Amino acid sequence: MNRQEMIALLGSLNSVWGTSGHEQAVGDRLGEYLADCTDEQFEDALGNRFFVKTGTHPDFKVMVSAHMDEIGFIVQDIWDDGYVAFLPVGMHDTRLLVNQVLTVHTACGDVEGVVGIKPVHQGGPAGGAPTYTDLKLDVGTFSRADTEALGIRPGDPITNERGWRMLGDNVFSGKAVDNRAGCAAMIAAMRQLKDLKLDATVVCCGSAMEEMGVKGSGPAAQRIRPDVAICLDVCFGAADGEINANNRRNELGKGPALMFYDWNNTSCLGNIVPQRLRTAMVDAAEAAGCPYQIGVTMNCGTDAAMIAYAGIGILTGGIGIPNRYMHSAVGTVCVDDVLHAGEILAHFIKDAAMHFEIQN
């Protein structure tokens, strides 16, 4: 896959919507790209999607996980004046919601609305970040009945309305790079392996409900019971020169980060990658000839935290794609980093049986 093909893939994946619990369109799109490079597809009760490429050793399994869901919102209520009250799905900074266009996905179709505030001439908003009581979605109606007539109901999912764009020729910005970038890397790896007969059976999982607290991947891993797993997600991309006390710097354009440690000290979710898997991940990056960084980070929990502790425990590592402005409508990733994540993953999969089968 070249850069232009990756830009098209990222654009395609960013153009479908899928908040937590509503990942169907994303899963269907993954299925379109993976149909001719996997042997079997299925779905579980949570909405996790599985794509299996059977190897010569069907019992030796590599699981690749990339969450399909994006952050968004959910309709909570409809005010008497027609405004739509909503709650978060995933972690948000409410300051980013002002001046935003949101799309409500109703049973009768999509409805756009805007989130505004009192004009600056009238003093603007009160100080501090707005709360979900302050924020109202204006869908152009003036009564509850009018809003209901548009099909809007409590429980309807809401997404950021934001197309994608290239910034220069190597930086992709969009509302759902977390984690369509990981999905794209998974697709790139499987397309690279398309015509190879592998030792390992590869089970790609487009996981559900990561943004709601890494809900889908644990049950998915229990079903697959892989020998080794790699989780693809975004990681914090530092601005050049930025020093962040919590995070080793992972810069855009310097390669994907091999995630050796992530831990959220609030939820205590996290993953520490054992040495033999760290060695195999570095070997894969070196064999691929790709630039890479090491990811040692806090407060960036991923599916890896659930996969590692599923069942009797699973050897689990992560590949992080540096992402600036995480959890906003303007997240950015470097296209080459996504390509390199796919190449490193492809090499890891090719050599996984050699690295791990004997021990299992």
Are 110 and 104 in contact by the 8 Å Cβ rule? The answer is yes
Shortest Å distance, C-beta 118 to Zn ion: 31
What is the contact mask toward Zn ion in residues 236 to 275, using x (rule: CB under 5 A)?
----------------------------------------
Sheet-wide strand order for 109-115 = 84-89, 72-78, 157-160, 100-106, 109-115
Shortest Å distance, C-beta 178 to Zn ion: 4
- Among residues 178 and 337, whose Cβ is nearest to Zn ion? 178
Other beta carbons less than 10 A from residue 249's beta carbon: 18
Residue sitting closest to Zn ion (CB): 178
Shortest Å distance, C-beta 247 to Zn ion: 15
DSSP code, position 70: B
- Among residues 68 and 228, whose Cβ is nearest to Zn ion? 68
DSSP code, position 126: P
What is the contact mask toward Zn ion in residues 10 to 49, using x (rule: CB under 5 A)?
----------------------------------------
Site for Zn ion in 122-181 (CB under 5 A): 178
CA atoms lying within 13 Å on the CB side of residue 28: 8
Shortest Å distance, C-beta 233 to Zn ion: 7
- Among residues 114 and 326, whose Cβ is nearest to Zn ion? 326
- Among residues 224 and 300, whose Cβ is nearest to Zn ion? 300
DSSP string, 231-270: EEEEEEPBPTT--BTTB---BTTS--EEEEEEE-TTT--E
Of 203, 297, 209, residue with least CA distance to 247: 297
Site for Zn ion in 277-306 (CB under 5 A): none
Site for Zn ion in 174-213 (CB under 5 A): 178
Could you tell me which residues are beta bridge partners of residue 201?
61
| C-alpha radius of gyration, the chain, whole number | 21
Are 264 and 270 in contact by the 8 Å Cβ rule? The answer is yes
Task: Give the helix ranges, DSSP H, for the chain.
Answer: 3-15, 24-34, 144-149, 177-192, 217-224, 275-288, 304-307, 335-356
- Among residues 19 and 201, whose Cβ is nearest to Zn ion? 19
Shortest Å distance, C-beta 315 to Zn ion: 24
Shortest Å distance, C-beta 263 to Zn ion: 16
Of 299, 282, 298, residue with least CA distance to 344: 282
- Among residues 23 and 178, whose Cβ is nearest to Zn ion? 178
The verdict on 69 binding Zn ion (CB under 5 A) reads no
Total residues binding Zn ion (CB under 5 A): 1
Instruction: Look up residue 215 and give its two tokens.
Output: 């809900």
Of 299, 348, 293, 296, residue with least CA distance to 321: 293
- Among residues 91 and 196, whose Cβ is nearest to Zn ion? 91
Q: Can you tell me the distance from the alpha carbon of 76 to that of 74, in angstroms, rounded to the nearest whole number?
A: 6
- Among residues 54 and 264, whose Cβ is nearest to Zn ion? 264
Chain-centre distance for alpha carbon 221: 17
- Among residues 178 and 262, whose Cβ is nearest to Zn ion? 178
Enumerate binding residues for Zn ion (CB under 5 A).
178
